[in-house]
Amino acid sequence: MSIMNRAEVLRMEREKVLTNFKEDNANRAKWLAALMDIDDEIEEMEKNQNSPFDQN
């Protein structure tokens, strides 16, 4: 059994949100907000990963 890391989970969730964004016109604002939240979290993870300082 494979354990997914947070980045993999976020990528999968992002794909689901993109599908919903394209198909659910009535709730596009909701899906756009969710997409922005996911992208922000991915960006923050990348910044922390590239930081020369230990975050612990």
- pLDDT tens-digit map of 15-56: 999 999 999 999 999 999 999 999 999 999 989 888 766 555
Nearest residue to 34 (alpha-carbon basis) of 47, 51, 15, 7: 15
* pTM, to two decimals: 0.78
Task: Say how far apart CA 20 and CA 34 lie, in whole Å.
Answer: 10
Q: Given pLDDT bands bounded at 50, 70 and 90, which one contains residue 4?
A: confident
Q: Looking at residue 20, what is its pLDDT?
A: 97
Domain residue spans of the chain: 6-45
Could you give the CA distance from residue 38 to residue 14 in angstroms, rounded to a whole number? 7
